[in-house]
Amino acid sequence: MANVLDVVRRNQESLLQEWLEGIKGGIRRRDLIDDRELKSQAAEVLTMICDAPGEAALDNLNSPPWQPLKDLLASLSTTRAVQGFTPSETAMFILSLKGPIFGLALKLHKNDVDLLFSEITAVDDFIDKLALHTTDSYIHGRDQVIVRQQEEMLELSTPVVTLWDGIVALPLIGTLDSARTQIVMESLLQAIVQTNSRFAIIDITGVPTVDTLVAQHLLKTITAARLMGAECIISGIRPQIAQTIVHLGINLEDVITKAKLSDAFRLALERSGRSVTRNSKSNGPVLSGAREQ
């Protein structure tokens, strides 16, 4: 006895046309996807449904025969998330397949209401599950977009500033997870080379937690900077961070540390043969310019 899946297989061409018309009748994003691409995607999905091996049952979407179809839908949905489709637009793509298949089922079983009902229920359930899968993948795609944007922001938010000729500073702000620390430290090393600096100040005032991972990144950066002929000074170690570092057993003895960024800057100026003096003729505290000694 023919079941719906067989009829779908036999009517693949006409079904595709009806499906596409349904999609176009509903929410349509001509700005995001052109007709040709939409058609080729729909055709691909339909082929996967039709080509599913004989043992593929509609009531078990989690069985291996359906895996290629699920993978295809997942990648389509992820792409749609990136392209800017909404979740409902993405789900509608697959949900629009219901109507045409119901139509086929109706023709096939018009004399047997019970069978018609059970077939329609099975198809309905199957397509709902595909739609849910689509939505899950869409959300996953969105998450990836967010992660990527975060990464882009991280790169933007790591400004290495030149404080003086030959002195660069990197004010670290926020949570340092592994990825971010890596980017930040690399940009510092790059800046050292580009500006030909002999001193690099890493200010950690804005870092809430200094654990072994952060310390290790700091120490590696300091070592790398040394190899390039630059000395690093760590500033902004707050009292609670200092205590924690000691308890952790991290050895910063070989590292120059200063409580404040300004102290670190002064030290770097001194070490590079400059000094900061107050101009006695003026009233306010004026930096008379770092004078070469």
Ligand X SMILES: Nc1ncnc2c1ncn2[C@@H]1O[C@H](COP(=O)(O)OP(=O)(O)OP(=O)(O)O)[C@@H](O)[C@H]1O
Given the complex with ligand X, which of 71 and 211 has the nearer CB atom?
A: 211
Given the complex with ligand X, which of 213 and 286 has the nearer CB atom?
A: 213
Give the span between the Cα atoms of 36 and 165, in whole angstroms. Answer: 58
Of the residues 111, 240, 282, 283, which one makes contact with another protein according to CB under 8 A: 240
CB-closest chain residue to ligand X: 212
Q: Specify the stretch interacting with another protein by CB under 8 A; choose among 11-19, 107-115, 206-214, 263-271.
A: 206-214
Judged by beta carbon distances under 5 to 8 A according to partner kind, the member of ligand X, another protein, none in contact with residue 152 is: none
Q: Specify the stretch interacting with another protein by CB under 8 A; choose among 23-31, 65-73, 91-99, 176-184.
A: 176-184
Other C-beta atoms closer than 10 Å to the C-beta of 269 total 20
Phi/psi at 277 (5° precision): -125, 155
Burial class (CB in 10 A: 0-12, 13-18, 19+), 130: buried
Given the complex with ligand X, which of 213 and 228 has the nearer CB atom?
A: 213
Of the residues 121, 216, 262, 288, which one makes contact with another protein according to CB under 8 A: 216
Separation of CA 262 from chain center: 36
Task: Confirm or reject binding of residue 213 to ligand X (CB under 6 A).
Answer: yes
Judged by beta carbon distances under 5 to 8 A according to partner kind, the member of ligand X, another protein, none in contact with residue 239 is: another protein
Of the residues 209, 223, 277, 279, which one makes contact with another protein according to CB under 8 A: 209
List of residues 6+ apart from 120 with CB closer than 8 A: 102, 105
CB of residue 232 vs ligand X: minimum separation in angstroms? 20
Q: Among positive and negative, which fits the CA dihedral 225, 226, 230, 235?
A: positive
CB of residue 216 vs another protein: minimum separation in angstroms? 5
Of the residues 43, 241, 252, 255, which one makes contact with another protein according to CB under 8 A: 241
- H helices of 52-97, where? 67-83, 87-95
Helix, strand, coil % in the chain, rounded to nearest 5: 60, 10, 30
Task: Confirm or reject binding of residue 60 to ligand X (CB under 6 A).
Answer: no
Other C-beta atoms closer than 10 Å to the C-beta of 222 total 22
* Residue 52: DSSP 8-state: S
CB of residue 252 vs ligand X: minimum separation in angstroms? 14
Task: Confirm or reject binding of residue 6 to another protein (CB under 8 A).
Answer: no
Token reading at 43? 């055709």
Of the residues 175, 196, 223, 277, which one makes contact with another protein according to CB under 8 A: 175
Other C-beta atoms closer than 10 Å to the C-beta of 149 total 10
C-beta pairs of 221-227 under 8 Å, 24+ apart in sequence? 221/185, 221/188, 221/189, 222/255, 224/185, 224/189, 225/188, 225/189, 225/192, 225/200
Give the span between the Cα atoms of 121 and 123, in whole angstroms. Answer: 6
Of the residues 175, 212, 277, 288, which one makes contact with ligand X according to CB under 6 A: 212
Given the complex with ligand X, which of 14 and 212 has the nearer CB atom?
A: 212
Footprint on this chain of another protein (rule: CB under 8 A): 175, 177-179, 208-213, 215-216, 239-241, 243-244, 247-250
Footprint on this chain of ligand X (rule: CB under 6 A): 212-213
